[in-house]
Structure 1
Amino acid sequence: MARSSKPMLLYPELFEGLVNLQVLHVYDPRLCCIRPVGAECVNREPPHPLFTCRKTFLQNTTIKVFIWILGLSALVGNAFVIIMRLRTKHETTISSVQSTLITNLAVSDFLMGVYMIILAVMDIYIGDSYFWEGRSEEWRKSNTCQIAGFISVLSSEASVFLITLISVDRFICIVFPFSQKRLGVVSARVFSGFTWALALVVSSISVAFGFLNTDAYSLSDVCVGLPLIRKQIDLYAAVDTYTKSIYGFTEFAIISGTSIPTWQYAIALFLGVNLLSFVVICLCYIAVFIKVYFAGRSAGRKSKSLDQVKMASKMFLIVGTDLCCWMPIIVIGILVQANVVVVTPDIYAWLVVFVLPINSSINPYLYTVANRVSSK
């Protein structure tokens, strides 16, 4: 089949009546999804790394349902946190500082909810024309997808930076309670503004690279160029031995000689910066736990007193959810870039929809509800 510059318009009855079709050579892998049963399908070039036979760009019904649940949860939960924090009057500097940081964190997590709702709405809007009309490339290169990707990176990086800032602030307050080098109300606002500026720069660079290198967003239907896939290069033509041995004539297939990382910037950002931030968060809370533990012993209390249990539980939730959010992506990303594992489209979709945004839905409860419960 000749290669076309535009996607083919497919329909379910395309191969109706071709009962004797034995082999199909295609440039458009969608044809392999609707070929007659028993017919062989040979791709004339390696398909998109994340290509599947799904009819819409969100993978399945479960993902479609949960992206609405997580998206609305992030929007409602973080909007509630923002409103309550802005309306609450704080009597101490420490509570005011914490409120400033948590409010900014809620704003970043609110943006993740916006990102998820954009994907959910566009999945409904595009529908199965994504498959039948071949609109995958059109969607990945669209302004809507670019905006969604920008919001996602802005939200995730601002959240990571703010959680790191909160962890460092709590580390200083608890481990060095008499230190003068701690955040005040003004400095908390300044540092929050700096984290937003840094996240804005990082996400803007993502968009800029997206225009220079289409692998940034065009390799993902969810508009985020995570370092979880590699691009096939060094393409060459080789004799299709299967076709020659079965049908007796020579055909050539396009084969990839090797693969390279799709986006070095994503590797530096998601596998480098975020890993460093997580290490800082862990070290801060380990130091806090040790400080609280020995302070309790020196005061004559049991090591498993109620206060210490509450402190340990809150730290476990904060660090644990951050671990669940980023460490799978970091670990899998390292293995993928080392050519140890290959991430399938299904795994990629589940990681982006469930793992990446889960903290945005949980953080309102961790930093507000948990604090209210522990204060009783």
Structure 2
Amino acid sequence: MMISSIGEFLLPRKLDDRQKKHTSFWISMWSVFDFLMVLCICIVQLSAKGAVTNTPCTIIDNCCVRNMTNFWKHKTELRCSEIQIIPVVNEIIHVLLEYNKIHVVENWAFNGSEIAKLSLRGNYLDYLSEHSFDGILNLRTLDLSHSSMKVLPTSGLKSLEILRIENAPSMTVMPSVYLFSNLKEAYLTYSFHCCSFQFPAKHDYSKYEFHKEGLQTPSECVQSKENNNYVNLVTDDFLENGYIDYANGSEEEFFNEPTMTNSTQDIICGNITPPTMRSDVKCWPQPDALNPCEDIMGFYWLRVSVWLVGSAALLANVVVLTVVFRKNFNHSVPRFLMSNLAFADFCTAIYLLLLAYEDLVSSEKYFNYAYTWQNGVGCKIGGFLTVFSSQLSVFALCLLTIERWYSIRKALYTNKMTFASTVRIMAIGWVYSIVMATMPLLGISSYSTTSICLPMDTARASGMCYVFTLLAFGAAAFVLMLFCYVQIYMSLSYETRHAAKGEASVARKISVLIGTNFACTAPVIFFGFTALLGYPLIDVTKSKILLVFFYPINSCANPFLYTILTASFRREAFSTVAK
């Protein structure tokens, strides 16, 4: 009747029959369309499964809230709706606000809402207020993955059971695990954050002490507060014996006692039922072989050894560089090569001391510093120094060995290694070393893979080829030095090696040089190749002993074997001190 009256109102009073029929046709079509619209609205209101709406709101205002609460009682999904800010919102039950443009979540944004799952996945989340999630009733699942969030506000998350913060690289600090009372599963970005659930005391000692106070013995827990009045929670039997005596009908009386439903209990000095241990939380990604939950050095004796080896290498190579640069090179090839070797070993000593200092600072709680260290400038500098120094040292050692081999085997030849040719060859070594040390900074492998800042990332083909090149160069250099020293040793006759004092000394020095190079280089190359082929024989904890202790011993031994223990160097050192 309403539609027909509207039609009569709209029609002119004087219409011919043809016009009336035409108008009646459109009025009938309008009635059918109106009926279909009413039917669709009823179907949507009766639907309990929810639907997706692309609300053009940039802010969840009252209009949007009415739409959500009226049509989707059990699930609200506003995906890709270009929402930017969430102010205070009421009466929302289940919210999925994924892949919008939300930058800010205001304080008490969901106050009074009963939300089982809240998903802000794929938003910016530049600013989360301290009380963004406060006031939410029975929140069980929170998803903040794929965001730029830096800090996770913990207020209001005590009932949380599942936490997802995957692919959120800006969040580098994990709040104390004791702030999540009921957490069962955590899906995080970094594996070292999962270490906080395994070692909560090391993660946040102050919160651990506060939590431990709540786990005191039953004899210390006497009172609770209910409506500002103190009442006894336990009986004398419980205080004296540590348990409740249910004999003589006390069990029936105990279980028939009315429960307290409308008040809050504050345990003054302990909990009757201890909360779930934080180690029971299932956390991903798990700490792997490259990043276990341990300190940088892993062993106390290794920590002391690194300080000793690094300090000795630093002092010895400083002495060599001081004496060499105080004297003119005089176009001496051995002196020039020894200065390059000393500088390379000096860089290795700096790397060792840098690791030792960071290990000292982060002792017993390294996973709290893991992100800052492994992704910071210090680790990149340390990684660059160790790769640069190791390659330059190997290059200089090879040239020194070749120069000695050429001087002995070709002693009668006049075309020996000239100073100019040695400088050109050594310049190639410098370029090669700098290029190899720079590659991980450009994305080929990475210095951030492990706590000792070595490029051990072989997930991609480029990283695998890079590590293979380093190992192959070291293996080829060792074989070359072994060949040259064996030939030098064999050039001495049996009688000369054992009778002549000077020649016997040379033979012993050659044996020491070969032995130290083999002991420091061969294990690293062997275990490196096995790991590269997919059959690692030792884990990272044991490989640190090789990479941080045995391999750098060369940096401490080289100054003595090649320079300090020689008679000519001692004479120059005495003359330098005398001046």
Please, what TM-score do these two structures have when normalized by structure 2? 0.51
Mapped partners of 1:118, 1:375: distance in 2? 31
For residue 108 of structure 1, report the CA deviation from its aligned partner: 0.8
2:467 aligns with 267
Mapped partners of 1:312, 1:185: distance in 2? 27
2:353 aligns with 117
**Among 302, 306, 312, the residue aligned to 1:73:** 312
Mapped partners of 2:570, 2:447: distance in 1? 44
Given that 2:291 and 2:451 are in contact with CA atoms closer than 8 Å, whether structure 1 keeps it comes out as: no
Mapped partners of 1:319, 1:89: distance in 2? 30
Query: For each residue in 1:135-185, what CA deviation from the matched residue of structure 2 results, as whole angstroms up to 9, or x when unmatched?
Result: 313321212211111111111100000000001111111011122332223
Given that 2:314 and 2:350 are in contact with CA atoms closer than 8 Å, whether structure 1 keeps it comes out as: yes
Mapped partners of 1:205, 1:25: distance in 2? 38
2:399 aligns with 165
1:350 aligns with 545
Structure with the bigger RCO (C-alpha within 8 Å, sep 6+) is: 1
**Helix, strand or coil at the partner of 1:2:** strand
For residue 278 of structure 1, report the CA deviation from its aligned partner: 0.7
Structure 1 vs Structure 2 CA RMSD: 3.3
Query: For each residue in 1:99-125, what CA deviation from the matched residue of structure 2 results, as whole angstroms up to 9, or x when unmatched?
Result: 111111101111111111222233344
2:291 aligns with 51
1:56-135 superposed matches below 5 A:
56-88=295-327, 96-126=332-362, 130-131=366-367, 133=368, 135=369
Mapped partners of 1:354, 1:302: distance in 2? 33
Mapped partners of 2:350, 2:411: distance in 1? 38
Mapped partners of 1:183, 1:347: distance in 2? 42
Query: For each residue in 1:312-353, what CA deviation from the matched residue of structure 2 results, as whole angstroms up to 9, or x when unmatched?
Result: 211122122111222111100111122333432311322221
**Helix, strand or coil at the partner of 1:181:** coil
Paired-residue identity, %: 22
Seen in structure 2, the aligned counterparts of structure 1 residues 37 and 325 have a Cα distance that, compared at 3 Å, is farther
**Helix, strand or coil at the partner of 1:66:** helix
1:180 aligns with 414
For residue 264 of structure 1, report the CA deviation from its aligned partner: 1.5
Greater CA drift, 312-321 or 73-82: 312-321
2:68 aligns with none
2:508 aligns with 313
Query: For each residue in 1:14-44, what CA deviation from the matched residue of structure 2 results, as whole angstroms up to 9, or x when unmatched?
Result: 399x8xx9x9544443145237779656444
**Helix, strand or coil at the partner of 2:447:** helix
Mapped partners of 1:373, 1:24: distance in 2? 70
Given that 2:198 and 2:278 are in contact with CA atoms closer than 8 Å, whether structure 1 keeps it comes out as: no
Q: Quick check: 1:221 aligned with 2:451?
A: yes
Amino acid at match of 1:218: S
Unaligned stretches of 5+ residues in structure 2: 1-161, 188-192, 201-275, 572-579
Q: Quick check: 1:338 aligned with 2:574?
A: no
Mapped partners of 1:324, 1:372: distance in 2? 26
Mapped partners of 1:155, 1:290: distance in 2? 31
Seen in structure 2, the aligned counterparts of structure 1 residues 31 and 122 have a Cα distance that, compared at 3 Å, is closer
For residue 62 of structure 1, report the CA deviation from its aligned partner: 2.3
Mapped partners of 1:137, 1:225: distance in 2? 16
Seen in structure 2, the aligned counterparts of structure 1 residues 50 and 83 have a Cα distance that, compared at 3 Å, is same
Amino acid at match of 2:291: F
Seen in structure 2, the aligned counterparts of structure 1 residues 304 and 262 have a Cα distance that, compared at 3 Å, is farther
Unaligned stretches of 5+ residues in structure 1: 232-259
Q: Quick check: 1:363 aligned with 2:527?
A: no
Q: Quick check: 1:138 aligned with 2:372?
A: yes
Given that 1:219 and 1:225 are in contact with CA atoms closer than 8 Å, whether structure 2 keeps it comes out as: yes
- Across the two proteins, how many residue pairs are aligned to each other? 326
1:2 aligns with 163
1:251-330 superposed matches below 5 A:
263-293=463-493, 301=496, 303-330=498-525
Seen in structure 2, the aligned counterparts of structure 1 residues 3 and 66 have a Cα distance that, compared at 3 Å, is farther
Mapped partners of 1:192, 1:100: distance in 2? 10
Amino acid at match of 1:150: F
For residue 268 of structure 1, report the CA deviation from its aligned partner: 2.5
**Helix, strand or coil at the partner of 2:401:** helix
Given that 1:102 and 1:367 are in contact with CA atoms closer than 8 Å, whether structure 2 keeps it comes out as: yes
Mapped partners of 1:373, 1:309: distance in 2? 18
**Helix, strand or coil at the partner of 1:362:** helix
Given that 1:119 and 1:222 are in contact with CA atoms closer than 8 Å, whether structure 2 keeps it comes out as: yes
2:136 aligns with none
Q: Quick check: 1:30 aligned with 2:195?
A: yes
Counting helix residues as a fraction of each chain, which structure ranks higher? 1
Given that 2:290 and 2:540 are in contact with CA atoms closer than 8 Å, whether structure 1 keeps it comes out as: yes
**Helix, strand or coil at the partner of 1:220:** coil
**Helix, strand or coil at the partner of 2:453:** coil
Mapped partners of 1:316, 1:65: distance in 2? 29
Seen in structure 2, the aligned counterparts of structure 1 residues 39 and 206 have a Cα distance that, compared at 3 Å, is closer
1:8-23 superposed matches below 5 A:
9=174, 14=178
Query: For each residue in 1:204-245, what CA deviation from the matched residue of structure 2 results, as whole angstroms up to 9, or x when unmatched?
Result: 22322xxx25x5212111111147xx65xxxxxxxxxxxxxx
Q: Higher Cα Rg: structure 1 or 2? A: 2
**Helix, strand or coil at the partner of 2:470:** helix
Mapped partners of 1:217, 1:78: distance in 2? 26
Seen in structure 2, the aligned counterparts of structure 1 residues 105 and 8 have a Cα distance that, compared at 3 Å, is closer
Seen in structure 2, the aligned counterparts of structure 1 residues 77 and 39 have a Cα distance that, compared at 3 Å, is closer
For residue 308 of structure 1, report the CA deviation from its aligned partner: 3.4
Greater CA drift, 337-346 or 153-162: 337-346
Given that 1:270 and 1:330 are in contact with CA atoms closer than 8 Å, whether structure 2 keeps it comes out as: no
Amino acid at match of 2:486: I
Mapped partners of 2:283, 2:504: distance in 1? 59
